[in-house]
Structure 1
Amino acid sequence: MTEKPQKRASCPQCHRPLRSCLCDLITTVDNQVHIQLLQHPGESQHPKGSAILLQLSLHHVTTWIGEQFPELEPAIKSSTFQDVLLYPENNESNCSQAFEHSTNDARPLRLWVLDGTWRKTYKMLQLNPALQNLPRFTPNPEQTSQYRIRKAPKDGQLSTLEACCHALSELEHSQEKYRPLLSSFDQFNQRWMSFQQSSK
């Protein structure tokens, strides 16, 4: 009788195999702008995904997993937040006007973020008209990505963690606040590359 292979022990917090646990890289940050992370199902278990470190580090982040979210429209309509979509400049993105923070609006900001490959997030945007109606915020295009373990289709495109950190830095007017988390992400990249080299 053939014995079933035993499952690898995993960390109860980050749910990674113990040998690739990233809990020591968690950098706790009390973000003022709340994050609503819309994560493609294929991204939720991706070992190279950056969102897991973001989810474990930020105080105010809610994750939705799926491609189409019929509950988005009522959630946004009944919101007490000023809702904004984090999405890059793109004439084909079907998004409404660019976001301009008004001092006359006292509502706290809430940032909606799509997590997945560029092709998948574009499809998610098309499947959810409620997102298309939100004002769009685009981080500074001059930011350089440190995401070396996954290749972006175009130069200048950032990982989900990097895009969120840069957006939060701009929206909260705090350049220093998110640098430790970006530093942890750089260590995450280095650790992954070292692990790949040792496995060869």
Structure 2
Amino acid sequence: MQPLVPHAVSQLRTARLARSSKPFLARGGPRGERCTGCRLVPSHCLCALRPVVPTQAGVCLLMADIEPLKPSNTGWLIADVVPDTFAFGWARTEVEPGLLALLADPQWQPYVVFPGEFVAPERVVTQVDCDAAGRKRPLFILLDATWPEARKMFRKSPYLERFPVLSLAPEQISRYKLRRSRRDDHFCTSEVASLCLDMAGEAHAAQTLDAYLDVFSHHYVQAKHQLPPDWNSDAHTRLHSLRAG
């Protein structure tokens, strides 16, 4: 198998590691060797299952400081699946020029994905305008962070204030099974991206990302408990079917 080309999140992780004064240790301490392509231990590697689905929509990840370093980060999965995924580290006092250039690119219509209850009503939209020919491509800006960090990022990023805020209704989000928060209305970044893609008419990419998250979660948990993955699980079968389609 040929080496995978590092995507935006992988590149951001490499840059973040280069700035570290000490090694980053994932929760639980040293775990030995990890695959550089999927961040799992080699026995549970997912690289051969990576599904790439070209889309009209794009995703821009604004990532809190250590998010690119976490093996469990699901923004990585989005970058695996969606070729036009961009990733930038967030800082309160400075903005990466590449991010500003992306937001100014006329091919894109950025949407900041955030709960509408925290936003002025005139900024909130609940649909993605992607039907008419010649329209700009939707670019979903996801704040990849814990909920307290995401609220801070939203408040302290004035360069996002000119864009509409896409608010996702709870009844839409509830179809995603995996829970990563004590609150039922908080979902991981990959789950939110799946819903955004579906709203943009990218049903195949949304379903593929959803299935890929389930497979990744299974491998991650099995590796944590030193158990082999079930390569014939329902999640694997669904992902294989979507990749074949």
Report the residue type matching 2:148 in the other structure. Answer: R
- Where in structure 2 are the equivalents of 1:184-195 lying within 5 Å? 184-195=212-223
Please, which of 40, 43, 51 is the counterpart of residue 75 of structure 2? Answer: 51
Q: Relative contact order (alpha carbons < 8 A, sep ≥ 6): 1 or 2 greater?
A: 1
CA contact (8 A) 2:41 2:223 kept: no
User: Could you say which residue in structure 2 is the equivalent of 1:147?
Assistant: 178
Question: Identity over aligned residues, as a percent?
Answer: 19
Equivalent residues in 2 for 1:22-37 (5 A)? 22-37=46-61
Alignment partner, residue 159 of structure 1: 188
**Which residue does 2:109 correspond to in 1?**
82
Q: Distance in 2 between matches of 1:74 and 1:64?
A: 10
**Counterparts of 1:153 and 1:132, CA distance in 2:** 29
Q: Per the alignment, do residues 12 and 190 of structure 1 end up closer, same or farther by CA in structure 2, a change over 3 Å counting? A: closer
| Residue type at the aligned position of 2:225 | Q
Distance 1:158 1:108 in 2: 25
After superposing the two structures, state which structure 1 stretch, 103-112 or 44-53, moved more: 103-112
- Per-residue displacement from partner, 1:16-37 (whole Å, max 9, x unpaired)? 4424433234221112111111
2:139 maps to 110
Q: Report Cα offsets for 1:108-150 as digits up to 9, x if no partner.
A: 22221110111111111122112233101123422233334xx
Is 66-75 or 151-160 further displaced after alignment?
A: 66-75
Matches of 1:38 and 1:118, distance apart in 2: 13
Query: Structure 2 CA distance, aligned partners of 1:188 and 1:11?
Result: 13
Q: TM-score, normalised by structure 1?
A: 0.79
* Counterpart-to-counterpart distance in 2, 1:136 and 1:158: 17
CA contact (8 A) 1:114 1:121 kept: yes
Q: CA RMSD in A?
A: 2.9
For 2:113 and 2:195, locate their aligned partners in 1 and report how far apart those are by CA, in whole Å. 11
For 2:113, the aligned partner's letter is: L
Alignment partners' CA distance in 1, 2:120 and 2:91: 17
The alignment partner of 1:139 has SS state of: coil
**Where does residue 3 of structure 1 map in the other structure?**
none
Q: Which of the numbers 159, 163, 173 marks the counterpart of 1:130?
A: 159
1:88 and 1:11 mapped to 2: Cα distance?
35
> Whole-Å Cα distance in 1 between the matches of residues 73 and 100 of structure 2?
29
Matched, 1:13 2:37: yes
| Unmatched tracts of structure 1, length 5 or more | 1-5
Structure 1 residue 169 displacement after superposition? 0.9
Cα distance in 2, alignment partners of residues 55 and 115 from structure 1: 13
Structure (1 or 2) with the greater helix fraction: 2
SS at match of 1:178: helix
Supply the distance in 2 between the matched residues of 1:13 and 1:187 (Cα, whole angstroms).
Answer: 15
Name the counterpart of 2:208. 180
Q: Distance in 2 between matches of 1:77 and 1:58?
A: 18
Q: 1:21 to 1:132 in 2, by over 3 A?
A: farther
Aligned length: 190
